[in-house]
Amino acid sequence: MSIALLLPMAACSVALAAWWWVEHLYRRPLKRLINHLDAVEPPAIGEALPSGPAPQGTLIDQLNQRIIRLNDMNHRLQEQAIKDPLTGLGNRRLLEQRLDIALPLSRRWMHTISALVIDVDHFKEYNDLYGHQAGDECLVEIANVLRDTFRRETDIVVRLGGEEFLVVLLDADEDEAVGLAEAMRGMLQAVGIEHEASSVADVVTVSIGVAVTQTGEPLSLDAMIATADTALYACKAAGRNRVISRPVSPSDDTAIPSIA
């Protein structure tokens, strides 16, 4: 066979090999990935992402859009993971994430940190009298009052569970923390949510235990909650619907918090 015939055949073989390589190693995997991404459903919790036909354009354009969509879905799931679904406040996970950064910085800068544990007075009796739906609405209203009271970007407001809330104030001493706690307590009482089953008042009230750290002293989240919890039970023993503060000491870190 002459060289004149071999050269076109060799060129054809090279072209076929190149086409096979592009088709099997690039185009087909991209198509399979895009088809797989098209089949991904939005998360069941929260608002679903809008559905529609696959976007037009090159494979790379479509792949980029699918990646953006998945990133958006992932962001929404992360937001849901750190928020309380009823009140929209943060949860314990958000609290720990923010304090992992805030506590070392506050200690380095010699700032005082205060923690407020807030408990709704006679909430079980409220649920028994008005029903759990009304109880949920009451908790949402309390969360709104908390937002209105603690507005600084550094204020951390979370729902610990049930009728218990926690506020962590960075760079806030005892006077400021107690003043804000009293303002929140008074604001909620002024809202006037009826509570005929309460032995404290004819409206919904809260008791607030305040824990105040010593400037620059090592501390932990459990120590702050344990101290605030102790102050909270002092409120209950004194008749509820009040604010009591306690200093956090290193020995409090070994206490067993009753609020988790």
How far is the C-alpha of 112 from the C-alpha of 248, rounded, in Å?
11
Which 3 state secondary structure label does DSSP give 177? helix
- CA-nearest of 91, 87, 67 to 78 is 91
Enter the DSSP assignment of 154: T
Pick the catalytic residue: 41, 96, 163, 182?
163
Judged on CB neighbours under 10 Å (0-12, 13-18, 19+), 195 is buried
Q: How far is CA 202 from the centre of its chain?
A: 33
Q: Distances in Å between the alpha carbon of 137 and those of 67, 141, 143, 160?
A: 38, 6, 10, 17
Q: Is 182 a catalytic residue?
A: no
Beta-carbon contacts of 169 under 8 Å, excluding residues fewer than 6 positions away, are: 113, 114, 115, 116, 150, 152, 154, 155, 176, 177, 180
- Active-site residue set: 163
